[in-house]
Structure 1
Amino acid sequence: MLQKILLVSVVLTLFYVEQNSAQDDLRLQAILLDSTLTKNANAIVRSEEVTIEIKSINSVVVKTKRIVTVLNKYGDGYADCCEYYDPNRKIKKLEAIVYDSFGKEVKKYKKKDFKDRSVSDNSSLVRDDRIKYFEYTPLNYPYTLAFESEVENSTTAFIKYWKPILAYRLSVEKSIYKILNPSKISIRYRETNLDEYSVETNKSNLGTTYKVFNIPAKLPEVCSLPLNDMIPMIKVALNEFSLKGVKGFAKDWKSMGKWQYENLVSGRDKLSETTIEKVTELVSDATTTKEKAKRIYNYVQNKTRYIGIQLGIGGWMPMLAEDVDRLGYGDCKALTNYTKALLKSQGISSNYCVVWRDSDKINIDSEFTSMEGNHVILNIPDGDKDIWLECTSQTLPFDFNDSTTDDRNVLVVKPEGGTIKRTKKYEPEENILHTTATVNLEVDRSMSATVKRVSQGLEYDWNYNIQFETSKDQKLYYKEFWGYINNLEIGKINLNDNKDDIKFTEDIEISCVSYAKKVGSRLLISPNLFSRDQINLPKYDTRKTPLVISRGYVNTDEYIINLPDGYMAGNLPEKKSIETVFGSYSYELEKIDDKQLKFRRFLKIVDGTFPKEKYEEYRNFRSEIKKIDKSRIALKQQ
């Protein structure tokens, strides 16, 4: 009887194992995917489970299991499986398996099969973090990759966020995020956009679990919110933590700023008496704080260059100011701290500020305190105004936020604690591009012109880098910029960078052998030669996201057009004007006399966030501008 019971037990066990195996094989078959998940997708996250166990303030273990089906070559990046490690972060488990579209195993990777290299970049002198990764070149699509890892980190200042939707055109079949906290360490959560995606939440004494299922791929839309603002996300932070062996405590931005100041910044601003004497002499005849700061900023730009130092706590702690002074280089932390020390030697107070540096306006989250930011800049309070310094740049003007640090929340690190402050926002009227030109048209259809472009505000930022290109590349740039002018030739180029007024001037000579089009005895020309709107916004059947215009600006144009000998302008079009909530536009052509025309153009774009229903109105606004910009007039023989 006992033998029969054992036999039945074995049979049932084998049946159970075979059933599970069959289900696994079925799950890995890409040919059985739900069409709602394959639509618009380059890849599908079939299953992802991230389990984070917080063992202590000195140990956090992250276990990851992920299965991704790649549908085409554009989805290969989502199958990249890697883990980073350093002296504080140890990889305990690492493996991956590739399956074909029928769920058949193609290749298996153990930890020893993964390649290993330094996490290098072009600007760092030294780093201590490395990466283990593998490279797989698919022969056919679709294919599926299963990845599993386990990493233990003694740094607990950063707890991996949950972002189930990593990119556009990526569907998610299942994603699970678990936080296990058996030691009952004080922990904070920031939950965003959970209701919109029907995220399941289960909280218990041991931790919290989040689950989400069947999210179709999102398509990108132009002029929309950043993806992170629209997806479900969980941020996690510990009140007590460790950063590269340094103990920390922070429950709000005040305590975070105080901890960073005391443990990362304080006491690193000593300078030699020789350097202090040199700087004192440099600013001796300056009468204002701003003028002194400007001279010191220029001194730093001329003396130092940017080199990254990402070694241990040095990834967050600046080099000593005296070392930067001696060596002449440093990263953003070091150069900011060095400038701060030089200012302090002259009695000028300044603040070390942590920021997200990006062309998108990424804010330090004012509502959730954690280790944030990827860059450091300097803030000098000057009365009721703020001076902002980008200490890593050898080219940016004094007190100028470019479009990677403008208009966003930063963490101001002070001895008494941290505060959130916003960097300068440039209004549309401050971002000016003014173009003037004298244009000479000839009977043989050719054209020559002298063009002057003057940029200010963020328009300065968008244009001034051309001065650092070679003469050949400068000419190529302008030929591409005015690519709608056929057979364009670029002559002399004279560029002037006025950093005092933050004004960049481009003087350019151009010519074209066939600008006018001959139709019978008439010549057809487009009066707007140098500022045609080239934006081509797509049409959406159903817009899903709000319209976001991130930065406003004003473009003005004024040209004198000298007509060919023997020709005069016919009837000129009436002035065209458009007024919308997104900005305004005008186009005007007037006759000075029979030999000259004057062309004027004005375009103002207003930044802001508008309802998605407004997108089509904005698209029509830009389309109408584009249409008017390229309009022609006829010149007739006298």
Structure 2
Amino acid sequence: MTYEKIVFLFILLTGFFAIAQKNIDPTPEDIKLAKSLRVKYDKSDIAIVKSEENVSFAINKSINSVEVNYKINENLMNINHRADISKYEFYDSESEIKTFSIKYRNNKTAAFYPKDEFYKSNDLFYNDAKVKYVQLDFPVQGYSYDYEMEKEIRDIKYFTSIYFNDEYPVIEKTITIKVPKWLELEIKEFNFNSHDIKKTITPDGENTIYKYVIKNIDPSVKEDNSPGPSYMYPHVLFIAKSYTEKAEKNTLFNSTADLYKWYKSLVDSMKDEPTIFANKVKELTKDAKTDDEKIKNIYYWVQDNIRYIAFEDGIAGFKPDDSQNVFEKRYGDCKGMANLTKQMLKLAGFDARLTWIGTNHIAYDYSIPSLSVDNHMICTLIKDGKKYFLDGTEKFNSFGEYAERIQGKEVLIEDGNKFIIDKIPVQKSITNSEKIVTNYKIENENLTGSVNKEFIGESRSTFLYQYNNVKNDKKEDALKWFLSGNDKNYNISNIITSDLNNRDQKLNISYETKLANHVSSFDNEMYVDLDYDKEYKYMDLKDRKKDIMFDYKSHDDITIILEIPSGYKVSKLPTNFEINNEDYAISLKYEVKGNTIIYHKMFDFKKPILKSSKFEEWKKNHLQFTKNYSEQIVLTK
């Protein structure tokens, strides 16, 4: 080939690639749109400019079920200078991803290769949950890709909801649901208020078309201790009640009874062999003097010896593992642990039953017959006409105490071919009390003295769980770190504790302490900062968007007593502060009594949630009581 031909070919190819690149590079209009969206959504790299989701249904005669076809088409645009994201879709053994593709804006397939893996969390594999995903590179602002996904769900019972929001801002989304006349489907709407959503229902021959159009929805917010998405984001819930084929009506989940019937069919298919752990039950109960002691020995043994591993996705999210498998493997999910607890208690002669429940992560109750209603399983013990709810996943919970995440929630209790609906009792914040009494005196500009702490309820179980999860050779260091907050100014010695494995008694910790840099002297005056912990100072909620779900309702009762040094009198005390409303009560009070200053603090969070609508009130109160933290006691000679 001559030099001239090579040059000609190079120019030809260069021109070809330039034209091809031009067809995928952002247009001036794309860049302008990306810049305007970036101004509005300055925390996001990507925006979904347009999204179309389509749902249709068909009868699968081979397995006698209604299958779902779910399609998504999205235009993804980079609104930052450049971006790298993962685009993914979950599925399991009851579903199949038919299409998963990325295209340039010119409709040419992009050279990205999807990966397909089992989904895992914290290196623990879920049973059959899988994820298909691809890494996308957006080189410049305004660059876009078209994403297409088609998934087939083989049984409609597993297709429970569609959320309108996304992890990225959505500029416009259309959701179209094509419901055939032979399918009785209820569509329930949640959290539509304050969103721009337009809904139309249109008959179309043998179908009814439901169409939802939503515009300008913010990205989902990732904040710790947020309520579950069913409380916060607009979505529709599908309740497939029945379908008719050849004039025969087939009931699906028309009522809670139908939901329970399906759950029971899974339980009935289990093959429990309690004889395998019969000797362990005898060992745990032989020396027990009362029934309560027998129950506790079994319940606590499950808590302490069965490792919790979640299998919450896919079919393993609904069927408990056989009790002997959990016993022999020494691990299981909530359902396996509940079933083992039940079978062990039954061997010991008690009436124990499997119980389905949705934790406070879920907004629904059992008036809705759907698999989305519950996400957890526990064991109910019925004794002397009273129900006790046993959750083996809650390490160090005492018998008769319930974790905040299940308090007040409905339960579905097995009762042969029938079922029982009940509620977990709600416990007040005082049942989780943490009480601290500190006695100080001043020695060489240090606060020295003794501290005594008492924990009950969830404050106790939380401490015991964290402490007992520490390796044995690190426990003493961990305890000192917990008590001092790793503050080098806070020296701790002579620690005495109650039994740090006992969940049935108050947890007591006492120790001697020396606190530096909290006393300073100038001329005839001494300045004392008596407040070491400054509880909830961090909780300014400056950038917080969503409600806060506390781990539990807490009640902190703190008393600090300072012996006034000989020859000194109190010339100034920090300002007292007190607030009491329906959500919380806070008080900080100083008083002089004899030759002591008594500083009493109380923080009582009466509810497990602080609504975002109450944030402004909280910020004002927070500003006041943290201002008090900065005030000092002034002692004068």
Q: Please report the TM-score for the alignment, with normalisation by the length of structure 1.
A: 0.80
Q: Deviation string for 1:203-252 (max 9, x for gaps)? A: 434243332232242796999876533432111132359xxxxx983222
Matched-pair contact (CA < 8 Å) for 1:268–1:318: no
Give the Å deviation of 1:394.
4.9
The match for 1:108 is 110
The match for 2:68 is 60
Q: Secondary structure at the match of 1:157?
A: helix
- Are positions 1:228 and 2:227 aligned together? no
Matched-pair contact (CA < 8 Å) for 1:269–1:337: no
The match for 2:387 is 386
Matched residue type, 1:526: D
Q: Distance in 1 between matches of 2:103 and 2:495?
A: 57
Matched-pair contact (CA < 8 Å) for 2:555–2:604: yes
Matched residue type, 1:392: T
Matching residue within 318, 321, 324 for 2:320: 318
The match for 1:80 is 86
Matched residue type, 1:179: I
Q: Distance in 2 between matches of 1:27 and 1:211?
A: 31
Matched-pair contact (CA < 8 Å) for 1:286–1:292: yes
Q: Distance in 2 between matches of 1:117 and 1:519?
A: 67
The match for 2:527 is 524
Distance 1:240-1:328 versus aligned 2 partners, 3 A rule: farther
Matching residue within 69, 93, 109 for 2:99: 93
The match for 1:620 is 620
Distance 1:581-1:310 versus aligned 2 partners, 3 A rule: closer
Matched-pair contact (CA < 8 Å) for 2:464–2:501: no
Matched residue type, 1:208: I
Q: Distance in 2 between matches of 1:60 and 1:257?
A: 23
The match for 2:174 is 176
Matched-pair contact (CA < 8 Å) for 2:128–2:316: no
Give the Å deviation of 1:68.
2.6
Matched-pair contact (CA < 8 Å) for 2:127–2:316: no
Matched-pair contact (CA < 8 Å) for 2:434–2:555: yes
Matched residue type, 1:276: A
Q: Distance in 1 between matches of 2:28 and 2:186?
A: 36
Give the Å deviation of 1:261.
1.4
Matched residue type, 1:67: N
Give the Å deviation of 1:389.
1.6
Matched residue type, 1:69: M
Give the Å deviation of 1:461.
4.3
Matched-pair contact (CA < 8 Å) for 1:255–1:417: no
- Are positions 1:217 and 2:225 aligned together? no
Distance 1:584-1:366 versus aligned 2 partners, 3 A rule: same
Give the Å deviation of 1:549.
7.9
Q: Flag structure 1 segments of 5+ consecutive residues without an equivalent.
A: 1-20, 242-246
Q: Distance in 2 between matches of 1:224 and 1:308?
A: 21
Matching residue within 457, 482, 507 for 2:510: 507
Q: Distance in 1 between matches of 2:81 and 2:428?
A: 42
Q: Distance in 1 between matches of 2:609 and 2:314?
A: 41
Q: Distance in 1 between matches of 2:81 and 2:259?
A: 44
Distance 1:364-1:355 versus aligned 2 partners, 3 A rule: farther
Q: Distance in 2 between matches of 1:294 and 1:394?
A: 13
Matching residue within 45, 48, 62 for 1:45: 48
The match for 2:434 is 433
Matched-pair contact (CA < 8 Å) for 1:52–1:180: yes
Q: Distance in 2 between matches of 1:547 and 1:533?
A: 13
Matched-pair contact (CA < 8 Å) for 1:340–1:351: yes
Q: Secondary structure at the match of 2:173?
A: strand
Matched-pair contact (CA < 8 Å) for 2:429–2:604: yes
Q: Secondary structure at the match of 1:460?
A: helix
Q: Secondary structure at the match of 1:625?
A: helix
Q: Secondary structure at the match of 1:119?
A: strand
The match for 2:200 is 201
Q: Distance in 2 between matches of 1:535 and 1:189?
A: 42
- Are positions 1:537 and 2:535 aligned together? no
Distance 1:401-1:352 versus aligned 2 partners, 3 A rule: same
- Are positions 1:154 and 2:161 aligned together? no
Matched residue type, 1:229: Y
Matched-pair contact (CA < 8 Å) for 2:408–2:426: yes
Q: Secondary structure at the match of 2:146?
A: strand
Range with bigger deviation, 248-257 or 329-338? 248-257
- Are positions 1:69 and 2:77 aligned together? yes
Distance 1:490-1:587 versus aligned 2 partners, 3 A rule: same
Q: Flag structure 2 segments of 5+ consecutive residues without an equivalent.
A: 1-21, 60-64, 244-249
Matched-pair contact (CA < 8 Å) for 2:116–2:131: yes
Distance 1:216-1:150 versus aligned 2 partners, 3 A rule: closer
> Equivalent pairs: percent with the same residue?
19
Give the Å deviation of 1:441.
1.9
Q: Distance in 1 between matches of 2:309 and 2:193?
A: 44
Give the Å deviation of 1:338.
1.2
Q: Deviation string for 1:140-175 (max 9, x for gaps)? A: 4454332111122323321152211135xx432221
Give the Å deviation of 1:633.
0.8
The match for 1:598 is 598
Aligned residues: 592
Give the Å deviation of 1:340.
0.6
Q: Distance in 2 between matches of 1:299 and 1:289?
A: 15
Q: Distance in 1 between matches of 2:518 and 2:313?
A: 58
The match for 1:580 is 581
The match for 1:16 is none
Q: Distance in 2 between matches of 1:559 and 1:29?
A: 63
Q: Secondary structure at the match of 2:161?
A: coil
Matched-pair contact (CA < 8 Å) for 2:397–2:458: no
Distance 1:417-1:142 versus aligned 2 partners, 3 A rule: farther
Give the Å deviation of 1:118.
1.9
Q: Distance in 1 between matches of 2:28 and 2:148?
A: 17
Q: Distance in 1 between matches of 2:361 and 2:312?
A: 25
Matched-pair contact (CA < 8 Å) for 1:533–1:629: no
Q: Please report the TM-score for the alignment, with normalisation by the length of structure 2.
A: 0.80
Q: Distance in 1 between matches of 2:270 and 2:106?
A: 60
Q: Distance in 2 between matches of 1:458 and 1:166?
A: 34
Q: Distance in 1 between matches of 2:298 and 2:396?
A: 14
- Are positions 1:127 and 2:133 aligned together? no
Give the Å deviation of 1:270.
3.4
Q: Distance in 2 between matches of 1:93 and 1:622?
A: 52
Q: Distance in 1 between matches of 2:148 and 2:420?
A: 40
The match for 1:4 is none
Q: Deviation string for 1:378-435 (max 9, x for gaps)? A: 2223456432222235544334333443333343344234454332322122221111
Q: Secondary structure at the match of 2:337?
A: helix
Distance 1:137-1:614 versus aligned 2 partners, 3 A rule: closer
Matched-pair contact (CA < 8 Å) for 1:256–1:417: no
Q: Distance in 2 between matches of 1:326 and 1:384?
A: 33
Matches within 5 A, 1:63-462: 63-72=71-80, 79-97=85-103, 108-109=110-111, 113-122=113-122, 124=124, 127-141=127-141, 143-159=143-159, 161-167=161-167, 170-182=168-180, 184-194=182-192, 196-197=194-195, 198-204=197-203, 205-217=206-218, 228-239=230-241, 249-265=252-268, 267-272=270-275, 275-276=277-278, 278-280=280-282, 282-283=284-285, 286=288, 289-308=291-310, 313-357=315-359, 361-372=361-372, 373-383=374-384, 385-443=386-444, 445-462=445-462
Give the Å deviation of 1:64.
1.3
Q: Distance in 2 between matches of 1:333 and 1:611?
A: 32
Matched residue type, 1:352: L
Matched-pair contact (CA < 8 Å) for 1:296–1:343: yes
Give the Å deviation of 1:90.
2.2
Give the Å deviation of 1:337.
0.7
Q: Distance in 2 between matches of 1:231 and 1:224?
A: 12
Q: Secondary structure at the match of 2:338?
A: helix
Distance 1:219-1:60 versus aligned 2 partners, 3 A rule: closer
Q: Distance in 2 between matches of 1:327 and 1:525?
A: 57
Distance 1:508-1:95 versus aligned 2 partners, 3 A rule: farther
Give the Å deviation of 1:334.
1.4
The match for 2:6 is none
